[in-house]
């Protein structure tokens, strides 16, 4: 049995090596990455700061990282991910930012890395499509650590898959997603990828993982985040922000 506090390695093999296929099965994902980048670009810290440090949780191949880098020049980014195959693509996709030392990629599990960070030392924590992959207890611990490491006034922004609270509507959405997976991967004759994404979807949808919007926001309130807001919602895809007071 897996402990609900375990960090899992969900991105290996074909699903990792061809991760950017996600654009085909979930077109809103790219839009959410851009929204995360724009949200950070437009954020003004409530304290004077010439440079901001940002921790990205789960950079994957660097799709959202690129949006964060493009959004503002005064930000130094550390991106943590626990999948070697994803990070090696991020290294290739983000060579300029790495060379300029605007970005550091860290291979580690998110919780272990957060636990090494001093209290109140980070301006921004950003993430996209990563927290929904976590087991519930692990996610709760990660969020507690995010609040601990943020400076007072610091920002947390997450663009992610938040399940629709109405179970019947969520089921309908998920069934449509499955149909879309079959259509896209059959057209490409990639039954191997279809299998991997369906298996992955079962993980996301399981009771130990599913991140429903209402309970997720309540959990953040319980942890102590302030000014929790949902800025955008399209089916399961949502942009959520909060601050540390
Ligand atoms: C769905 S991908 C999203 C990637 C990227 N943020 C994007 O917007 O395309 C989720 C990423 O989170 C990483 N991840 C999942 N669980 C993790 C954990 N416990 N610690 C660190 N990274 C994790 C995976 O390896 C994967 O690269």
pLDDT digit string, tens, across residues 108-154: 999 999 999 999 999 999 999 999 999 999 999 999 999 999 999 99
pTM of the full structure: 0.95
* Greatest mean pLDDT among 4-18, 65-79, 182-196: 65-79
DSSP state string for 2-38: --TTPPP----HHHHHTGGGHHHH-THHHHHHHHHHH
> Residue 100 C-alpha to ligand 1 middle, in angstroms?
24
Domains of the chain, residue spans: 13-163+208-243
Q: Given a cut of 80, is residue 3 above it in pLDDT?
A: no
Q: Could you please state the CATH topology (level 3) that the domain comprising 13-163+208-243 is classified under.
A: Rossmann fold (3.40.50)
pLDDT digit string, tens, across residues 156-204: 999 999 999 999 999 999 999 999 999 999 999 999 999 999 999 999 9
Of 133, 137, 239, the one to substitute when testing ligand 1's pocket (max ligand atoms within 8 A of C-beta) is 133
Distances (CA, A) of 75 to 41, 45, 104, 170, 201: 9, 12, 12, 37, 33
Residue with CA closest to ligand 1 atom 22: 81
Residue with CA closest to ligand 1 atom 25: 83
Give me the chain's average pLDDT, please.
95
Measured from CB, residues less than 6 Å from any atom of ligand 1 are 7, 10-11, 33, 58-60, 63-64, 80-83, 86, 109-110, 128-130, 133
């Amino acid at each position: 049995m897996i402990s609900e506090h375990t960090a899992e390695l969900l991105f290996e093999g074909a699903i990792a090596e061809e991760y950017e296929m996600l654009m085909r099965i979930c077109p809103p994902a790219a839009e959410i990455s851009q929204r995360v980048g724009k949200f950070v670009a437009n954020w003004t810290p409530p304290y004077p700061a010439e440079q901001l440090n940002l921790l990205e949780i789960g950079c994957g191949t660097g799709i959202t990282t690129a949006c964060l880098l493009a959004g503002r020049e005064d930000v130094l980014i550390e991106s943590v991910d626990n999948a070697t195959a994803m990070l090696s693509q991020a290294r290739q996709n983000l060579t300029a930012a790495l060379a300029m030392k605007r970005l550091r990629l860290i291979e580690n599990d998110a919780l272990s890395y957060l636990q090494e960070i001093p209290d109140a030392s980070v301006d921004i924590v950003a993430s996209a499509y990563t927290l929904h992959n976590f087991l519930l207890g692990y996610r709760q611990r990660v969020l507690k650590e995010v609040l601990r490491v943020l400076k007072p006034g610091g920002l947390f922004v997450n663009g992610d898959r938040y399940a629709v609270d109405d179970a019947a509507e969520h089921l309908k959405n998920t069934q449509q997603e499955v149909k879309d997976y079959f259509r896209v991967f059959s057209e490409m004759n990639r039954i191997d990828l279809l299998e991997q994404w369906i298996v992955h979807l079962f993980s996301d949808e399981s009771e130990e993982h599913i991140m429903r919007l209402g309970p997720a926001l309540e959990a953040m309130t319980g942890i102590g985040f302030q000014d929790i807001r949902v800025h955008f919602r399209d089916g399961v895809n949502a942009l959520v922000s909060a601050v540390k007071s």
